Amino acid sequence: MRIVSQVEETPVDFIVPKSPSNEGVPMITDSTQLENLCRRLQDEEFIAIDTEFMRDHSYYPRLCLIQLAGQEEAAVIDPLANGGALDLAPLYELLRTPGIIKVFHAARQDIEIFFHDAGFIPTPIFDTQVAAMVCGFGEAVSYATLVRRFLGENLDKSSRLTDWSRRPLSPKQLAYALDDVIHLRHIYEALARELEELGRTSWIEEEMARLVAPQTYRLEPKDAWKRLRRRPRSRRAFGILIEVAAWRENLAQQRNVPRTRILKDDSLYEIIASAPKDRQQIGRLRAVPQGFAGSKFAPSLLDAVAAGEARAKEPGFSLPKNLSEAVPAALVQASAELLELLKLLLKFQCARHKVATKLVADTSALESFAVAKAGEEHAHPILSGWRKDVFGALALEAKKGNIAIGMEGDQLRVFESKDAPRLAQKGIPDA
């Protein structure tokens, strides 16, 4: 990825000039205006982009507003203008242009909209939230925090809860929306400079490659069970879990309504546990809404329950490794103790390298690494790319029993497990 930095040779805490007044926000409401705007932006090295959407009453997000900015101009695009007749093709062409970096903050939901509405992912991209985490600004850094840090301004949040699908939008609401991309340009420049100074440009390239991978945005019903927190430990119940979760996801997609409009998670858990065979049994379940048993959706739910029981009887079906009932208690305890050690090591290493722990590994990643069999860890995400250098290599040494964490004076240190701090002999960094 080519990162463009136009920041002068000044510390990262510099304050950029305040944004000009947003009175008279440029509003794009017809296709000719949009085409002209996109033509003017074609020669930019980077553009800042943000979206406003609503998904309270739908499965897929409804795109309500698009904010776009180059170095010299910024505008708000209204995709709902004239009954949604605005032709967004020029914008999509601009977002596909390989020579222009598209700058987002917390890009995932914005990218999801373009992926599902138009079938493509803007590339190349730069996510300022991820970049800030790479640069040590903390976990899931907010846009407001970065604006305060780099511009010395406090955002007016009074329009944050706007219903962006309603028209007309007030000048204050439009100004609030446009500020997101005006400030974003300056934040991008500052973070690009910081990444170069830290030598972490390759880190952000790895993270952006993950973010633009199509599989990130494919909502496959067969994988819907992974969204549920409670996981049964019997083959039969787990088979039902997979099928019932897929049934709900399919129905939500077809009807374009939130999953919980079909059935809430608590209802699914009770269905999975009881495995109803007919409408009457569904009607006796306390967590299932009254009337559902008599609805047109009940037969397909019963089919899903039956399919789950059949799946569980298939010869190749098995529980995920971390749910297997055959795991010895001693191994479970050892993995739990290793997990606590890994959490401490992760916190220690991320503080040392000044990078957000959430970006390196979350709890589920640590759990899967802890229970992985010896010799099978090489494919684990924490042992690839920059994560291996920051944390993964040491985590593997910890799992093998080759290092320990302890105090030396008033400092936390990583030692060889044989008690002597001859860390350099094994290439283990002394923090």
Check residues 306 and 2 and name the one with the higher pLDDT: 306
d(CA 67, CA 174): 9
Is the pLDDT reported for residue 9 higher than 70?
no
295 token code pair: 């609805």
Nearest alpha-carbon partner for 103 in 206, 4, 214, 248: 4
Tens digit of each residue's pLDDT (9 = 90 or more) over 380-413: 999 999 999 999 999 999 998 888 888 777 777 8
The span from the CA of 139 to the CA of 353, in Å, is 14
- 126 has pLDDT over 50: yes
Q: Are strands 27-28 and 74-77 parallel, antiparallel or unpaired?
A: parallel
Average pLDDT value for residue range 136-142: 91
- Is the pLDDT higher at 388 or at 14? 388
Instruction: For residues 122 and 94, give the distance between their C-alpha atoms in angstroms, rounded to a whole number.
Output: 9
Q: Is the pLDDT of residue 174 over 90?
A: yes
Whether cis (ω within 30° of 0) applies to the bond prior to 168 is yes
pLDDT score of 21: 38
Question: What's residue 322's pLDDT?
Answer: 58
The first and second tokens of residue 381, run together, are 């995400």
Q: Categorize the per-residue pLDDT at 8 as very low, low, confident or very high, splitting at 50, 70 and 90.
A: very low
Query: What per-residue confidence (pLDDT) applies to 2?
Result: 63
When comparing pLDDT for 6 and 22, which is higher?
A: 6
pLDDT digits (tens, 9 = 90+) for 236-269: 999 999 999 999 999 999 999 999 999 999 999 9
Residue 337 has pLDDT above 50, yes or no: yes
Q: 137 phi and psi, to 5 degrees?
A: -90, 5
Using the predicted structure, report yes or no on whether residue 321 has a pLDDT greater than 70: no
Q: What is the pLDDT of residue 247?
A: 98
- What is the model's pLDDT at position 4? 64
Residue-wise pLDDT for 57-83, tens only, equals 999 999 999 999 999 999 999 999 988
What pLDDT, in 10s, does the model give residues 260-313? 999 999 999 999 999 999 999 999 999 999 999 999 999 999 999 999 999 999
pLDDT tier at 431, thresholds 50, 70, 90: very low
Does the structure show a pLDDT above 90 at 335?
no
Residue 403 pLDDT: 85
Among candidates 288, 289, 291, which has minimal Cα distance to 272? 288
